[in-house]
């Protein structure tokens, strides 16, 4: 059972999102009502605004055993159409008063409804969620996550972090990705503890949650940790509040060693890193009682097998991370080709991440095989999807998209544009808005360069490494 605490609700608050909170009993009533409404559907989606309704909708679908697709509420028209056509949800669970997917049936989640359907055991192999994630080319793929992956992974994290019902997790992560939704919301609910989502990220909000809401753990991407460190440097109150944490956890992208050390200097806390992926959930984590080394993401979690596959001409013990275990997804929806490419016949998932191993088995991520994947603010973005969107702009003849280091975002998206003959050069903001409108705002290029031609090799392939200013 995914949520034992709903079968026998403990006293106290289960969820807080922004200003709204719910007890376990209220959550059980409202989520059961959703479960009764969606029971028997093949799939449902949820318009994943940061609201308590979003979480109740997801929990309701999981109680009913109906796979749920979290939708980015800022999705642009092209990306949203692709996800909806690919996953065909029967209905979109929504927050009253908020938008939803145009032209699709919506079902407002009613927080005061009282359902009676009880969470029952379901087949552990049954899909629980389909989460869309970018590849190097083409539109995002839907990773099908089974119930056993959620259950075993949350329990392995609990063991690593000594995570119990006494913990209050604070975060402000988007609810349409694994980090915010599975680890940040379903994690505390599986423990019978409390999830506190701020609604919107701000260092002051995080500090207040530690001061006034007894928060014990923070989950955040490196960009948020960096912004917290800046705020802690400027304001002792924020530094003091962070020093009260039991665990500050970072993931979704590499936390620079310099930030790890700065946060320790300011707060006395050494950040715990964990390494995950949409398709695998969490693979490794530094344990609560473990050595919190900068730049290391810890050992594999219980039940997760991990090995490095040496690259050709193996340099310094670097290899691609391969993982196997109950944490793995079932495959990509409607994409047997992509599934076969990523999951080999022996059940190993090829992550594309390059790493080394410390003598005691701690993993250090040192890079990525694909240069066409960009991690910006913790979001994974494929260069190909942005190139395709920009090619639809009437003034764009040719385009290449790259990532470059960014102090705040880790990497920023850069577009190199050849303007179509006879067309005036478009405004940079026009190209950025175009990508935001078709895909999503976080995929917009932060930098746009206009060039006369793209460097190509004899076969006509763009040589992205030559694209430097
Ligand atoms: C800006 N905006 C626009 C435009 N430009 N809207 C429309 N058109 C435009 N041209 C809006 C944005 O929508 C946003 O609105 C606001 O302006 C600021 O956007 P942006 O600059 O992109 O945001 P930011 O301040 O840079 O965001 C930083 C962030 C964010 C908060 C750290 O990157 C973030 O939430 N990252 C988390 C990523 C994550 O959870 N990844 C997990 C996947 P508004 O202000 O209204 O929002 S990885 C994963 O799940 C695996 C398993 C793992 O290991 O964890
Ligand atoms: P996503 O597909 O959006 O789930 O992103 C997964 C990717 O994020 C992984 O393949 C890694 O490249 C990266 N990632 C996640 N956690 C970490 C971490 N702690 N350190 C470095 N990279 C990470």
How far, in Å, from the CA of 364 to the mean position of ligand 1? Answer: 26
Range name among 300-314, 366-380, 390-404 with the lowest pLDDT average: 300-314
Q: Which CATH architecture has domain 377-466?
A: 2-Layer Sandwich (3.30)
Computed over every residue of the chain, the mean pLDDT equals 97
Query: Does the pLDDT at position 308 exceed 90?
Result: yes
Q: Would the CA dihedral through 428, 434, 437, 440 be positive or negative?
A: negative
All CATH 3.40.50.12780 domain ranges of the chain, comma separated, are 4-195
Confidence of residue 121 (pLDDT cuts 50, 70, 90): confident
Residue 411: CB within 6 Å of ligand 2? no
Asked if residue 224 has its Cβ within 6 Å of ligand 1, the reply is yes
CB distance 221 to ligand 1 below 6 Å:
yes
Query: Cα–Cα distance between 132 and 258 in angstroms, integer?
Result: 32
Tell me whether residue 414 is exposed, middle or buried, using C-beta atoms within 10 angstroms of its C-beta: 0 to 12, 13 to 18, 19 or more.
buried
Give per-residue pLDDT as tens, 378-401: 999 999 999 999 999 999 999 999
> Residue 120: its pLDDT value, please?
81
pLDDT tens across 177-198, in order? 999 999 999 999 999 999 999 9
Check if 279 has its Cβ closer than 6 Å to any atom of ligand 2: no
Residues of the chain with CATH 3.30.300.30: 377-466
Tell me phi and psi for residue 206, to 5 degrees.
-65, -45
| Minimum CA distance residue for ligand 2 atom 7 | 277
> Which ligand is nearest to the Cα of residue 141, counting in written order?
2
Compute, in angstroms, the gap from residue 106 CA to the centroid of ligand 2: 32
Model pLDDT, residue 311: 75
Tell me which of 3.40.50.12780, 3.60.40.10, 1.10.3720.10, 3.40.190.10 is the CATH number of domain 4-195: 3.40.50.12780
Cβ neighbourhood burial of 29 (10 Å; 0-12, 13-18, 19+): buried
Give me the mean pLDDT over the 446-461 stretch.
96
pLDDT of residue 313: 63
User: How many angstroms does the Cα of residue 438 sit away from the middle of ligand 1?
Assistant: 16
pLDDT of residue 117: 83
**Cβ of residue 378 lying under 6 Å from some atom of ligand 1:** yes
The token pair that represents 404 in the structure block? 């470059």
Q: What pLDDT does residue 92 have?
A: 98
Contact 396, 425 (CB under 8 A): no
Give residue 150's pLDDT: 98
SS3 309: strand
**Is there an atom of ligand 1 within 6 Å of 444 CB?**
yes
Residue 316 has pLDDT above 90, yes or no: no
Amino acid 96: pLDDT:
98
Atom 20 (ligand 2) nearest CA: 254
Q: What is the pLDDT of residue 119?
A: 75
CA distance 109 to 26: 13
Q: Identify any residues that bridge with 261 across adjacent strands, giving them in sequence order.
A: none
Q: What atom in ligand 2 is closest to the CA of residue 250?
A: 19
Report which bound ligand comes closest to the CA of 412. 1
Compute the average pLDDT of residues 18-35. Answer: 97
pLDDT grade, residue 315 (50/70/90)?
low
Region 331-359 average pLDDT? 97
Ligand 2 pocket, 183 CB below 6 A?
A: no
C-alpha of residue 275 to centroid of ligand 2, in Å: 6
197 lines ligand 1 (CB under 6 A): no
pLDDT of residue 268: 98
Tens of pLDDT, residue by residue over 65-106, are 999 999 999 999 999 999 999 999 999 999 999 999 999 999
In this prediction, residues 402-426 reach a mean pLDDT of: 97
Q: Which of 221, 374, 408 to mutate to test the pocket of ligand 1 (most atoms within 8 A of CB)?
A: 221
Confidence of residue 314 (pLDDT cuts 50, 70, 90): low
Q: For residue 253, which atom of ligand 1 is closest to its CA?
A: 54
pLDDT tens per residue across span 28-71: 999 999 999 999 999 999 999 999 999 999 999 999 999 999 99
The closest ligand to the CA of 274 turns out to be 2
Specify the residue for token string 């006034």.
Answer: 212
- Buried b vs exposed e over 110-148: b needs ≥16 C-beta within 10 Å? ebebebebebeebeeeebbbbbbbbbeeebbbbbbbbbb
Q: Which ligand is nearest to the CA of 221?
A: 1
365 lines ligand 2 (CB under 6 A): yes
132 Cβ below 6 A of ligand 1: no
Going from the C-alpha of 170 to that of each of 188, 245, 430, the distances in angstroms are: 10, 10, 37
220-272 pLDDT per residue, tens:
999 999 999 999 999 999 999 999 999 999 999 999 999 999 999 999 999 99
- Spacing, Cα 105 to ligand 2 middle (Å): 34
Residue identifier of the C-alpha nearest atom 22 of ligand 2 = 253
* Cβ(277) – ligand 2 distance below 6 Å: yes
For ligand 1, is residue 428 a contact (CB within 6 Å)? no
C-alpha 127 – ligand 2 centre gap (Å): 22
């Amino acid at each position: 059972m995914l949520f034992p605490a709903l079968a026998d609700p403990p006293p106290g608050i289960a969820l807080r999102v922004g200003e709204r909170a719910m007890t376990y009993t209220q959550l059980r009533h409202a989520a059961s009502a959703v479960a009764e409404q969606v029971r028997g559907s093949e799939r449902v989606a949820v318009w994943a605004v940061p609201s308590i309704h979003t979480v109740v909708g997801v929990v309701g679908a999981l109680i009913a055993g109906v796979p749920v697709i979290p939708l980015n509420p800022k999705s642009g028209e092209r990306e949203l159409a692709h996800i909806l056509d690919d996953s065909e949800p029967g209905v979109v669970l929504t927050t009253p008063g908020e938008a939803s997917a145009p032209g699709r049936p919506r079902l407002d989640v009613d927080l005061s409804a009282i359902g009676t359907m009880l969470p029952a055991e379901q087949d552990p192999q049954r899909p629980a969620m389909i989460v869309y994630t970018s590849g190097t080319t083409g539109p995002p793929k839907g990773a099908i996550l089974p119930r056993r992956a959620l259950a075993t992974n949350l329990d392995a994290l609990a063991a690593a972090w000594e995570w119990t019902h006494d913990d209050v997790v604070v975060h402000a992560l988007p609810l349409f990705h694994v980090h915010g939704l599975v680890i940040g919301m379903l994690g505390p609910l599986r423990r019978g503890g409390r999830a506190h989502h701020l609604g919107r990220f701000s260092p002051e909000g995080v500090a207040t949650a530690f001061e006034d809401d007894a928060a014990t753990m923070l989950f955040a991407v490196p960009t948020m940790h960096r912004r917290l460190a800046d705020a802690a440097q400027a304001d002792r109150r924020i530094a003091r509040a962070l020093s009260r944490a039991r665990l500050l956890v970072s993931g979704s992208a590499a936390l620079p060693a310099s930030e790890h050390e700065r946060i320790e200097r300011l707060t006395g806390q050494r950040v715990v890193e964990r390494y995950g992926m949409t398709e695998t959930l969490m693979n490794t984590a530094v344990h609560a009682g473990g050595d919190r080394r900068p730049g290391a993401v810890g050992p594999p979690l219980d039940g997760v097998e991990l090995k490095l596959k040496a690259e050709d001409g193996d340099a310094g013990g670097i290899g691609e991370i391969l993982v196997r275990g109950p944490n793995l997804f079932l495959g990509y929806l409607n994409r047997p080709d992509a599934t076969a490419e990523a999951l080999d016949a022996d059940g190993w998932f090829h992550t594309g991440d390059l790493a080394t191993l410390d003598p005691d088995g701690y993993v250090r991520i040192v890079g990525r095989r694909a240069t066409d994947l960009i991690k910006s603010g913790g979001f994974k973005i494929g260069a190909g999807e942005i190139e395709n969107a920009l090619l639809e702009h009437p003034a764009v003849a040719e385009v290449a998209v790259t990532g470059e280091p960014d102090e705040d975002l880790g990497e920023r998206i850069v577009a190199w544009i050849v303007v179509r003959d006879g067309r005036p050069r478009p405004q940079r903001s026009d190209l950025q808005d175009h990508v935001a409108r078709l895909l999503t705002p976080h995929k917009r290029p932060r930098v746009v360069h206009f060039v006369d031609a793209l460097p190509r090799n004899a076969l006509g392939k763009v040589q992205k490494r030559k694209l430097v200013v």
